[in-house]
Chain A
Amino acid sequence: MNDVLLLGRRAVREIIRYPEATIPTLFIPLFFLAVNIGQVSKTFPSSTPFLEGQGYAAFQLPVSLMFAVATATSGLALVTEIDLGYFDKLLVAPIRRSSIIFGRLAADLVRGVATSTLVLLVGLAFGVDVRTGFPGAVVVVFLAALFGVAYAGFGILIALRTRNVQATQSSFLLFFPALFLTPNFVPFDRLSPAMETLARINPISYVIVGVRSLVIDGWDAGKIGICLLVIVVLGLALTALSLRTIARYDR
């Protein structure tokens, strides 16, 4: 555990000292938030039934939160470390190899809390009213950050498997279709039948729906529970694969 804390602290220090790795990841979610609101706020006024009296920003906010936290930053940091030889230094130290992964994920949690808080504040500036109040806002940030941790496992996995910066960088492209095959612009029942089918089998849909429920609907244990379940299963699966890969690294 001490090793995880030491490596986590180092990774957080890296985030702070290397802001150019994090700031661009905030550009896309904030850009989408502003542009989407600007483009469709007249189409979906606050009287639209699924907005429950709120502006369209409230509906878009969870999507922007997903974009903000789902980054390949940890994977990129890891593959850079492999490239520089520092990863070998860690492998030859008398620590569990899993500490290297958990240290990175701990830093992802910190980054996720910081970035999702920022995006949430921008959402509030756009007039979003989190219906579940301050506790709900905390849960929104927590769920988003947790999703960021789960997703980081993907970048780490690609980094360990390919040991290639370009491959790790482009892993983010895989997330794009997954995020758009969701009820990101309108609810499930407003999608075409084919899109609705795809969105309903896409687990990320339920993360968005869960977070959105906290912003628009109020406390809905079912939606939040499913959201948390998807994040936990995704996180466990990707982390397990990463742990398996690092355990077999060069073996």
Chain B
Amino acid sequence: MFELDEVEWPGSGAAAGAAGPASIRARALRRTFKGGIEAVAGIDLSVETGEIFGFLGPNGAGKTTTVRMLCTLLPPTSGSASVAGLDVVEDAAVVRRRIGVALQEIGLDPVQTGRELLELQCGLYGIRGRRARERTGELLELVGLREAADRRTKTYSGGMKRRLDLASALVHSPDVLFLDEPTTGLDPASRITIWEEVRRINAAGATIFLTTQYLEEADQLCGRLAIIDDGRIVAEGTPERLKAEIGHDVVSVTLAGADPRRTEEALRGLAGLERVVAEPDALALYVDDGAGSVAEIVRRLDRDGLSVGAISVARPSLDDVFLKATGRRLEGHDAEQPEAVAS
């Protein structure tokens, strides 16, 4: 759709994932709101230059509050953070020159056209006149909105708005780009378009801090990620390493009305069983050899007269990582929280 080679970037040449000095660093970062609500409970983070770093968690986990602190929009209650080597509180004004931000709520002015919005954004970053018009043209091309450039943004679809918002975060070729749930609410095609754009922006040299509640997005895009839950980081590493740390296959036994306690008791002592986690209508069994355990699982259930639904075997996913770290799944996290019944 676009060629990023044509777009100026201060750090051009830095390949995706090429680790350099830390672009983002947080130490014991904490934010408490009125009423004592602790949105972020003292997190430590280190994101290297050139990374796409994922920040994964359910709604209300503290992702957006963390991003707002790192973007200088919200001061921390305690702890410290730096972006591009600059303190987000002491050097907030300079930090703002070095970062691009696309927040969860798409920040567009509905009365302006796409072109006017980008030209204004250029002006606010000190890019004026002919250079602003050229830069606007480049960015409209980049995000595939050249045809719609002179329409008011209120007429744009959700995906177009998201892409324009992304473009507006890029006018000054930021060193660090914060994307807060950039694909929430988008259809699968628009989501893939955004993913492609994120990869290309990263390939052109920008460090990207991306929050998401989509496991696939984190898996597809991020070199490293942290999982946040209730304001705390519960796991951190590359997706591969986090999944490998589970060290087991996951056998999912759909209960289909069977009693979860009796089912769990029937399976206790299964060879290679590390732990059992109860989900709303299933048991997740973490076993050394998933495929090799299925026959024994069926035999034990038959022995105890338990009739269950489907039994499936899978390699661990990020959702399993999340489940192991928090005791519940991220996907469908609005469902009742399951209780860990065995370990």
Contacts and interface: CB of A to CB of B under 8 A. Distances in A.
Interface of A: 2-3, 6-7, 10, 13-14, 17-18, 81, 84-95, 250-251
Contact of A94 (B110, B120, B124, B128): B124
B76 to A, nearest CB: 11
Interface of B: 68, 71-75, 93, 96-97, 99, 101, 103-112, 116, 120-121, 123-126, 128, 152, 168
B129 to A, nearest CB: 11
Q: Which of A13, A90, A94 has the most CB of B within 10 A?
A: A94
B296 to A, nearest CB: 54
Contacts of A94: 93, 96-97, 124-126
B111 to A, nearest CB: 5
Given A6-B123, A14-B111, A95-B124, A89 B101 contact: yes
A13 B99 CA distance: 28
Given A93-B124, A94-B97, A88 B111 contact: no
A6 B120 contact: yes
Nearest to B124: A93
B109 A93 contact: no
Given A91-B73, A250-B74, A86 B107 contact: yes
Contact of B111 (A6, A18, A251): A18
A84 B99 contact: no
A3 B124 contact: yes
Contact of B110 (A7, A10, A84): A84
Contact of A93 (B104, B125, B152): B125
Nearest to A3: B124
A85 B103 contact: yes
Contacts of A3: 123-124
A81 B109 contact: yes
A88 B112 contact: no
Nearest to B74: A250
Given A2-B128, A94-B93, A95-B124, 20 more contacts: A2-B123, A3-B123, A3-B124, A10-B112, A10-B116, A14-B109, A85-B105, A86-B107, A86-B109, A88-B73, A89-B121, A90-B124, A91-B73, A92-B72, A92-B99, A92-B101, A93-B124, A93-B125, A250-B68, A250-B75
Given A91-B73, A92-B71, A10 B109 contact: yes
Contact of A17 (B71, B101, B104, B111): B111
Given A6-B120, A13-B116, A92 B73 contact: yes
A250 B103 contact: no
B182 to A, nearest CB: 13
Contacts of B121: 89, 93
Contacts of B74: 250
B120 to A, nearest CB: 6
Given A2-B123, A3-B124, A88 B93 contact: no
Q: Which of B105, B108, B121, B152 has the most CB of A within 10 A?
A: B105
A69 B103 CA distance: 35
Closest 8 CB pairs of A and B: A85-B105, A89-B107, A85-B107, A93-B124, A94-B96, A6-B123, A94-B97, A86-B107
B130 to A, nearest CB: 16
Contacts of A95: 124
A3 B72 CA distance: 20
Nearest to A81: B109
A3 B99 CA distance: 19
Q: Which of A17, A92, A93, A95 has the most CB of B within 10 A?
A: A92
B105 A84 contact: yes
A251 B111 CA distance: 29
A86 B72 contact: no
Contacts of B168: 89
A29 to B, nearest CB: 25
A90 B108 CA distance: 10
A249 to B, nearest CB: 9
A81 B107 CA distance: 8
A84 B108 contact: yes
Contacts of A250: 68, 73-75
Nearest to B123: A6
A247 to B, nearest CB: 12
A84 B74 CA distance: 18
A102 to B, nearest CB: 14
Nearest to A18: B111
A87 B68 CA distance: 13
Contacts of A81: 109
Contacts of B126: 94
A26 B58 CA distance: 48
Q: Which of B72, B73, B97 has the most CB of A within 10 A?
A: B73
B120 A10 contact: yes
A6 B124 contact: yes
A251 B73 CA distance: 8
Contacts of B124: 3, 6, 90, 93-95
